[in-house]
Amino acid sequence: MRLRSCFLGLLALFVAGKCSYSPEPDQQRTLPPGWVSLGRVDSEEELSLTFALRQQNVGRLSELVQAVSDPGSPRYGKYLTLEDVTELVRPSPLTFHTVQKWLLAAGARNCHSVITQDFLTCWLSVRQAELLLSGAEFHRYVGGPGEIHVIRSPRPYQLPKALAPHVDFVGGLHRFPPTSSLRQRPEPQTSGTAGLHFGVTPSVIRQRYNLTAQDVGSGTTNNSQACAQFLEQYFHDSDLAEFMRLFGGNFAHQASVARVVGQQGRGRAGIEASLDVEYLMSAGANISTWVYSSPGDSGAGCWFVSGRYQFRPSFPASSPYVTTVGGTSFQNPFRVTNEIVDYISGGGFSNVFPQPSYQEEAVAQFLSSSPHLPPSSYFNASGRAYPDVAALSDGYWVVSNSVPIPWVSGTSASTPVFGGLLSLINEHRILSGRPPLGFLNPRLYKQRGAGLFDVTRGCHESCLNEEVQGQGFCSGPGWDPVTGWGTPNFPALLKTLINP
């Protein structure tokens, strides 16, 4: 009787139609620019899908994140361990076993979870996946950075309604890897005046942001920083060593990463991966650096982690739990002087995430005082606003595949620079017996950009139709959705972030 009941319960999970639900009502159905369909995938081809299981105590977790990130809280800096987080958010046994039985009954194989048990990744044939996910239809696409191949469904999927309390979404169906912001610009022309720079290098960054030769890691603490590479993007040890030989002569540094986690490909190095590692390790100089390598097609850009804070230059830049870095360029492309908005810098307001409380005052001030705003119908004024900070993103030198490449630009350049500088600040905090900074945003907004150069000139060009006449958001005094609070002035930023 028990076996029959179990069988009927599993059978009920496969019933679609009126008993189905859409876990992602905003599923993307249009093909992004730069991608081409190669047609339906063979029904027996294998693919990997990730199932996000419903977490427990999400509200409590949000409260704890706020408490450990707010300098005014008695819990500030008292971070949870991974074991603590696991105990808090781990899905209920009912959720885990219900989803696991559903997948196994559908023929899923080689399922594996994570420590917190809130994700299950399984292999299925295309035929099995299309039966499992009602409405899905898998096609192969090519495009994006590096002309990579991905398998996606151009149609929305539905799940049995009985799974609604247990599954939040299924990853690997719709979202395409975003296009990198990096590009190589033509070299600007100059008359050859003395005292000029010819592209951004570590020494230019250190000069602009007021770092001395002593502003490097000690190499003796348990401080570390890390980035992750995706989309078949790899760095080469030899490129990093050559980069430091060419550009790292005036500061102590490490010329190799401490550890690579995952599979490091043997193909050509990617410019973005090369840039990430080279500028994270030159800005956060002489600090142990790890690289997490994943050949998968589910993400782009890099996470930068130092201590317990996170940065990301691309999606999900609008997440309220990520410190997002915008881009600037020199007012004169050859002089290390004031910065203005880089025309490729992004920013704005999220249509997905609501505006977090830590930035409400700053955003309200911007909206009420800015003389140049796009029409209100073009942005969600109540959404998460970004970026939070900025750094130079224009005209970088990168060594990739043994070749020094000039004039590389994009917010993927500004992100590792800012992350590396905060690694140095974490070094000082650890040496003085304090915890690392953790999630920076609540403190950053409470201190109203103290320790940063306020960038007040320039607009980004994301809105180009006649109605807005090419006018995107513009920078101004204080926070703005182009450069955030501004770019780092290292000694001032260290002073304002070293205590408590």
Domain coordinates in residue numbering, the chain: 28-171, 196-499
DSSP per-residue codes, 168-179: EEEESSSPPPPP
Asked whether the whole model's pTM tops 0.75, one would answer yes
Q: Tokens at residue 200, please?
A: 């951004």
For residues 71 and 443, the answer to whether their CB atoms sit within 8 Å is: yes
Helices 2-13, 93-105: crossing angle, 10 deg rounding: 80
Contact 384, 321 (CB under 8 A): no
Instruction: Give burial (CB, 10 Å; 0-12/13-18/19+) of 81.
Output: exposed
* Structure token pair of residue 379: 């942005």
- Known binding residue 84? Answer is no
Rounded to whole angstroms, how far apart are CA atoms 423 and 219? 12
**SS3 state of residue 376:** helix
With beta carbons less than 8 A apart as the criterion, state whether 496 and 488 touch: no
427 exposed, middle or buried (CB, 10 Å; 0-12, 13-18, 19+)? buried
Is 9 marked within a binding site?
no
pLDDT at 17: 40
Question: 221 versus 290: which is more confidently predicted?
Answer: 290
CA distance 246 to 274: 15
pLDDT at 258 (0 to 100):
94
What percentage of the chain exceeds 90 in pLDDT? Answer: 64
For the stretch 84-102, pLDDT in tens is 999 999 999 999 999 999 9
The predicted structure's pLDDT at residue 31: 85
147 is catalytic: no
**From the candidates 215, 239, 242, 276, which is the catalytic residue?**
276
pLDDT at 468 over 60: no
Q: Can you count the helices (H) and strands (E) in the chain?
A: 12, 24
Judge whether 272 counts as a catalytic residue: yes
Catalytic one of 180, 224, 318, 412:
412
480 in a known ligand binding site: yes
46-53: strand order across its sheet: 109-113, 119-125, 46-53, 167-171
Distances (CA, A) of 90 to 83, 204, 275, 439: 10, 46, 36, 22
- What single string gives the DSSP state of each residue in 88-136? HHPPPHHHHHHHHHHHHHTT-EEEEE-TT--EEEEEEEHHHHHHHSBT-
Angle between helices 58-69 and 82-89 (to 10 degrees): 150
What would the pLDDT profile of 174-199 be if each residue is shown by its tens digit?
888 766 667 666 666 554 444 456 89
Annotated ligand binding at 41? The verdict is no
pLDDT band for position 262 (50/70/90)? confident
Instruction: Indicate the range of 100-114, 209-223, 313-327, 405-419 predicted with least confidence.
Output: 313-327
Asked whether residue 16 carries a pLDDT value surpassing 80, the answer given is: no
Over residues 115-130, the mean pLDDT reads: 96
Question: How far is 295 from 297, CA to CA, in rounded Å?
Answer: 7
Which of the following is catalytic: 272, 297, 394, 427?
272
Q: Where are the alpha helices (DSSP H) in 31-91?
A: 58-69, 82-89
| CATH classification number, 196-499, choose in 3.40.50.1100, 3.40.50.200, 3.20.20.10, 3.20.20.70 | 3.40.50.200
Does residue 276 have an active-site annotation? yes
pLDDT of residue 453: 96
* pLDDT higher than threshold 50 for residue 6: no
Higher pLDDT, residue 119 or 15? 119
Residue 308, both tokens: 């317990």
